[in-house]
Amino acid sequence: MMVQTMSIKFVQRGIKKYLKEKWDEAEDEFVKAVETNDISAKGWYYLGMCRLKQNDNEGANVSFKKAVVSAKLQEPEDQDTIRNSLLELAMVEMKSAQFIAAMGYLKKILQMEFKDNELRGTVWGILGEIYEILKKKEYALFCYRNSQKFGNRKYKKQVSQFEVENIRADDPDDKESPSLIKRKADILFNQQKYQEAITTYLEAVKMNNSKKVLSDADHADVITKIAFSYINVQDFNHARNYLQEARKLYQKAKNEEDIKTIDSTLNKLNSLMAT
């Protein structure tokens, strides 16, 4: 009990110096706090914050991880420190372009139960920023819209721009997402596993008919690849039907280059079937 009391005093003194922006002096107090009590969640968290302020990202990373572990050992668990530490860990990872690791920390926060809508909106927004950096606009839009649901208006411009671009929001964690299924089918297609690709592309089409996630261009790409897969397994009747369907989609999108490609392929296919 004496150890905890001493540690709390060091934390309190450290916070006072931290608020006065005396980072090095505050750090000394938080070091004493965690040396006195190595499961001082607040001590580790603020030590991480001091190290961040002094551009010691590696030291901050270690401190925030220890803060999370220590907060889980409190009775009851120190949920606020866990959330705050996870958020800071995500920000540290983003600085070094470790975006997948950052997403992992952010998603852990969203899995927690808490009533701080501002924090939840912030987390969704940062997730959206990561997906936008990774050029996954459909996921970014999904996250930005969720951020707005919790009162965050920071991403209003991005949402408007994506809507102008006809981007359709998609949940990155939806295991039955048409976008995810399409990517699996693309892998099979590139591996020349055409029969499996056909089955998977058809599944993507079926899911998209209900969820309306794929953009017009992506939907047309799926239909085209089904057609080319059928060509490669020498099922020319099905191939022609899907090529004709793809042509209608490209006409709707006014994509002249793809229409020319489809027409050329149809001509070759018709000649082949006539022999």
Distance, CA of 197 to CA of 206 (rounded, Å): 14
Q: Which of 263, 265, 182 is nearest to 223 (CA)?
A: 182
The CATH architecture annotation of domain 178-274 reads Alpha Horseshoe (1.25)
Instruction: Evaluate the CA torsion angle 50, 105, 115, 150 in order and state its sign.
Output: positive
In contact, 251 and 261? CB cutoff 8 Å: no
Angle between helices 194-211 and 216-232 (to 10 degrees): 150
pLDDT in tens, 21-62: 999 999 999 999 999 999 999 999 999 999 999 999 999 999
Fold of 1-109: 1.25.40
pLDDT at 2: 63
Distance, CA of 140 to CA of 157 (rounded, Å): 13
pLDDT at 1: 56
Distance, CA of 102 to CA of 229 (rounded, Å): 38
Going residue by residue through the chain (275 aa), what tens digit of pLDDT does each one get?
566 788 999 999 999 999 999 999 999 999 999 999 999 999 999 999 999 999 999 999 999 999 999 999 998 999 999 999 999 999 999 999 999 999 999 999 999 999 999 999 999 999 999 999 999 999 999 999 999 999 999 999 999 999 998 899 999 999 899 999 999 999 999 999 999 999 999 999 999 999 888 888 889 999 999 999 999 999 999 999 999 999 999 988 888 899 999 999 999 998 888 86
What are the distances in angstroms from CA 124 to CA 11, 172, 187?
31, 12, 29
In contact, 65 and 89? CB cutoff 8 Å: yes
Domain boundaries, the chain: 1-109, 115-173, 178-274
- Token pair recorded at residue 46: 């603020």
Identical fold between 1-109 and 178-274: yes
Distance, CA of 257 to CA of 270 (rounded, Å): 20
pLDDT at 273: 85
pLDDT at 216: 84
Distance, CA of 190 to CA of 257 (rounded, Å): 22
In contact, 109 and 147? CB cutoff 8 Å: no
Exposure string of 57-68, with b = 16+ CB inside 10 Å and e = fewer, is bebbbebbebbb
Distance, CA of 201 to CA of 131 (rounded, Å): 24
